[in-house]
Amino acid sequence: MKALKWVNHLITFLLSLLLIALVFSVIISKASGGEPQIMGYQLKSVLSGSMEPGIKTGSVIAIKPGGDMTRFQKGDVITFKVSNDKLITHRVMGVKGAGDNTQYITKGDNNNTEDLDPVLAANVVAEYKGFTIPYTGYLLNAAQSKAGSALLLILPGVLLLFYSAVTIWKAIKEVEVKKDAPSTSN
């Protein structure tokens, strides 16, 4: 019975922790305008396989924005703007020019050829620092939509309530069994 109680407490704790983590994630996502940031790093979802096998499709990566965007060298992985709403993370294969005229030749690790257009240093938004959480990008993308936010907040709460109801029901059954059992007295 002690092992069962311990398992019950563990499940309750894990469901509560999941609920708190999801609430925290949704709040950070909404408060930062859809750009979750932790300790100066932005979290981005990877939507293509161009950097596989190192960065899998659906992963979340941490990128470090800011600083001198002309500092990158061959082998660095950068995130850059292609349009107002599209970012790409690729590896620097070469550097042309200097100062404000710096351009990067980039390529996805899984691509056969370099990207067609060089990337201006002014279009670089951050550097990838090697931190990846596989497959959680799908969850992050869902959290940024209204329906996904609601689901991520409601589902763990409903699971916690359901689990609590089951636990209470079992406790009531135990009390009823003890009440109905004949007592042994001397």
pLDDT in tens, 117-163: 999 999 999 999 888 888 777 766 666 677 776 776 777 778 778 87
Q: Which of 25, 32, 48, 185 is catalytic?
A: 48
The span from the CA of 17 to the CA of 20, in Å, is 5
Give me the residue label for tokens 């990128």. Answer: 63
**pTM, entire model:** 0.61
Q: Which of 132, 134, 143, 115 is nearest to 32 (CA)?
A: 143
What is the SS3 assignment for 139? Answer: helix
Q: What is the mean pLDDT of residues 47-76?
A: 88
Q: Which amino acid is it at 14?
A: L
% of the chain at pLDDT higher than 90: 23
| 48 catalytic per annotation | yes
Provide the 8-state DSSP code for 121: G
Main-chain dihedrals φ then ψ at residue 77, nearest 5 degrees: -110, 125
